[in-house]
Amino acid sequence: MFTGSFVALITPMFENGQIDYPSLQKLVEFHIQNGSHGLVSVGTTGESATLPFDEHIEVVRRTVEYANGKIPVIAGTGANSTAEAIFLNEQIGTTGVQGFLSVVPYYNKPQQKGMIAHFEAIADATDLPTILYNVPSRTVADMLPETVAQLAQHPKIVGLKDATGDISRLQETQKLVADDFLMLSGDDESSCEFLANGGHGVISVTANIAPKQVADMCNAATAKDYQLAKQINSEIAELHTSLFIEPNPVLPKWALYKMGLTNSAFLRLPLVESELESQKTIEQVMRSSGVLS
């Protein structure tokens, strides 16, 4: 269910900061039409850090409604408070989502034993599958392969989004978990190599802008046509890097606004609009990649 290209979906907003639900519906339809295999609603790219509970829950609910069963929706429900993560799972679990994405607790810097206790408590409190999310560049705390292996024994913990960008970490983890434990790349720049080394899919920021290319790359990798996957990836390789020259999702939001898919590029503070030079850079890359005519 959770293989292939999952879009780390932005949360569109009007200039007054309110959620832009018409644009959200347009984005969901855009991704369905372009072959994305699923959506991740209100993850890091969806500005989860600045959406209060009521908005967080409503954005996920609307995303599921707009997807209308055509592709699965995973909800970002991670928190650095275990009780808060469980609360979000309880509230969002009734919306029709197919699973949860739960990030390593940030700022607290938990020990490996603390991570195990945290994720086991979350998984124990739900009937839906949970995907772990390790992104030490943001959380500081790094979930080690041995910790993933122990958590993989829980029947409700079904996979890992690995955003380390380190292929050796993928290989090390694969040795410790069952073949059906999902390994998903959370690092666009290394995602093609990740797939070529046995990864099951990607949770992609680039897919916001180039959904067809990322989905086609995943389809080629699933068919074990890694040459084709590499060729497709080469066409969007510059997007992988240029979308991150400012903190995510600053440039993805601007790019989608430029493509006419949203009404504004507004971000919640403390993030602000991208620099003019960054906009020029990403626009040039979008044109050279063929996603903007």
Cβ atoms within 10 A of the Cβ of 271, count?
A: 17
The confidence score (pLDDT) of residue 221 equals: 98
Closest of 86, 84, 68 to residue 31, by C-alpha: 68
How confident is the prediction for the chain on average, in pLDDT? 98
Question: Does 26 qualify as catalytic in the annotation?
Answer: no
pLDDT at 1: 80
Confidence of residue 287 (pLDDT cuts 50, 70, 90): very high
Task: Give dist(CA 128, CA 151) in Å, integer.
Answer: 15
Per-residue pLDDT of 105-146, as tens digits, reads: 999 999 999 999 999 999 999 999 999 999 999 999 999 999
- Which of these is catalytic: 26, 161, 212, 253? 161
Instruction: Report the pLDDT averaged over residues 14-18.
Output: 97
pLDDT surpassing 90 at residue 194: yes
280 among known catalytic residues: no
0.85 cut: is pTM over it? Answer: yes
The pLDDT confidence band at residue 177, using thresholds 50, 70 and 90, is: very high
Q: Of 89, 96, 99, 112, nearest to 3 (Cα)?
A: 99
SS3 31: helix
Model confidence pLDDT, tens digit, residues 196-220:
999 999 999 999 999 999 999 999 9
Q: Would you state the pLDDT for residue 125?
A: 98
Structural domains of the chain, ranges and CATH numbers in brackets: 4-223 (3.20.20.70)
- Model confidence pLDDT, tens digit, residues 142-152: 999 999 999 99
pLDDT at 293: 86
Binding-site positions read: 45, 203
pLDDT over 90 (residue 44): yes
Looking at residue 144, the DSSP 8-state letter turns out to be -
Q: Is the pLDDT of residue 90 over 90?
A: yes
Residue 206 confidence (pLDDT)? 98
For residue 177, give every residue at least 6 positions away whose Cβ sits within 8 Å of its Cβ, in sequence order, or none: 148, 149, 152, 183
How confident is the model over 237-256, as pLDDT tens digits? 999 999 999 999 999 999 99
Report the distance separating Cα 183 and Cα 197, nearest Å.
10
pLDDT at 83 over 90: yes
- Please state the residue numbers annotated as binding site for pyruvate: 45, 203
Active-site pick, 66, 133, 156, 258: 133
pLDDT at residue number 64: 98
